[in-house]
Every structure is written in structure tokens, then in C-alpha cells.
Amino acid sequence: MKIDKILQAASVIPVLEIGAVETAVPLVRALAAGGLQVIEATLRTAVAVDAVKAMKDEQPDLIIGMGTILSEEDIEKSLSCQPDFLVTPGATKSLLQSLKKCGIPSLPGVASASEAMTAAEEGFMAQKFFPAESAGGTTYLKALKGPLPKITFCPTGGISAEKAPEYLALSNVACVGGSWIATKDMIEEQKWALIEANAHRAAGMLLTN
Ligand code: 3PG
């Protein structure tokens, strides 16, 4: 599946930091019950790869990506759980090359016009705009639309349920990402009903651009 198709399948992608593998199955059940189809687990914890494996076994129809990919080693580390896509917070030249080489649909992170242009030069026309709120938010994304009309963004970083609709109204936004649906604390505290309710609300948010 190409990255554009993956982004079309979601308006909101929950970004997950899973600290204990036992939480992966109830977590993915809550997210799926809420109606979300695309999720991202971050490679920030020791159990991230095993957690993605467990989530894929539990919900084979969900599209599950691996985020916080910083290097070629991280790509290799994530291969054993067969992520459907990869997400990076930023993009060096060598990381862009490694993403191209691995062939997995990827969303490289950018925070400026120059970075967006560098990633586009390498063929990445869909990009993560990160950290969205600190890097200029909707005002910055609106300003990029004129000079860079062919690039679409998945803004992530500091976005809440309240702010998400403002991003989803922009014509160069394909979807938004965020941890607000299932924060690290909510996962640790096993707040499955709350996560399902947050997922349900997020699944109801549509692009209005
Ligand atoms: C991240 O990788 O940390 C994500 O972009 C999530 O950002 P958030 O926690 O601010 O939603």
C-alpha cells in the first residue's frame, strides 16, 4: 500500500508509546473498537517491536506503522514486526536514502520549507510536519501551500482533540497524528474505556478541506 492510501484511510493517527507488551492487545482492541484504522507505535521503548507484533496478530486488518525511526539501524530493528509504514521525526539525507532503499511506505518528518523541499526532492511528497504546534501550526502549513502545492502533510506534535479540526480544514493536510487519544499514562493505567472513547471521537473527525 502506498503512503497516500494509508493516509487516506485515516483522519487521525494515534501515536503510541507502549512500555509494557501486555498492554498492546487491550490497547489495540480499544483503538479498533473506537473505529480507528491506522495507528503508529513509536520505537522508543524496549518492547515496541514485540508490541507491534502482538497488535498485528490481534487486529490483522489494522494498518500499523512504526514511528520515531531515526536511522537505518532503526529501520532494520523494526523489520521483524513488518510495519505497514514508517514515520520519522526529522530527516537527514542518509535517513531519506535508507527509507527509499527499504521500500516500506514512509512519512519523513519536516519542520520547514527547506526540509520539505529536501524530502520532496527524494520523492517523499507526503510528510510528517513535526513538531506541528511549536513549528508554526496551522499558520505555517497554510503558508507552505502556495509555494509547495504538491506536498501533503500529516501534522503531529502538540495537537489535541480541540485543535485537530483546524488542521483537518487545511487543503495540504491529509490527516493529523497525536498521542492525545492514548497517552503513555493512559496506557500504563490501562484506561481502555477512556481510550476507546477518545478513539471514537477521533475516528469521527473528518477532513473538511
Ligand atoms: C511524537 O512522536 O512524539 C508524536 O509526534 C506525538 O506528539 P504529541 O505527543 O505531541 O501528540
| Model pLDDT for residues 118-142, shown as the tens digit of each residue | 999 999 999 999 999 999 999 999 9
- What average pLDDT does the structure give for the chain? 98
Nearest CA to ligand 1 atom 7: 157
Q: Collapsing DSSP states into helix, strand and coil, what is residue 184?
A: helix
Q: Provide the pLDDT confidence category of residue 208 given band limits of 50, 70 and 90.
A: very high
- Mean pLDDT, rounded, for 32-54: 98
Please report the pLDDT score of residue 62 as a whole number.
Answer: 98
Q: What is the DSSP string of 61-97?
A: TSEEEEE---SHHHHHHHHTT--SEEE-SS--HHHHH
Share of the chain above pLDDT 70, in %: 100
- Mean pLDDT, rounded, for 47-56: 98
Asked whether residue 7 carries a pLDDT value surpassing 90, the answer given is yes
Domain ranges of the chain: 3-203
Q: Provide the pLDDT confidence category of residue 146 given band limits of 50, 70 and 90.
A: very high
Q: b/e per residue, 27-60, with b = 16+ CB within 10 A?
A: bbbbbbbbebbbbbbbbebebbbebbbbbbeebe
- Mean pLDDT, rounded, for 85-111: 98
Give the type of residue at 114.
Answer: S
Ligand 1 atom with the shortest distance to the CA of 67: 2
Choose, from 17, 40, 133, 196, the residue flagged as catalytic.
40
Interval between CA 178 and ligand 1 midpoint (Å)? 5
Choose, from 17, 56, 115, 128, the residue flagged as catalytic.
128
d(CA 192, CA 104): 30
Please report the pLDDT score of residue 9 as a whole number.
Answer: 95
**What residue ranges in 11-61 does DSSP mark as E strands?**
12-16, 38-42
- Is residue 27 lining ligand 1, measured as CB closer than 6 Å? no
Looking at the domain that runs over 3-203, which CATH code has it been given? 3.20.20.70
- Is residue 178 lining ligand 1, measured as CB closer than 6 Å? yes
Asked whether residue 187 carries a pLDDT value surpassing 90, the answer given is yes
Please report the pLDDT score of residue 1 as a whole number.
Answer: 82
Please report the pLDDT score of residue 209 as a whole number.
Answer: 86
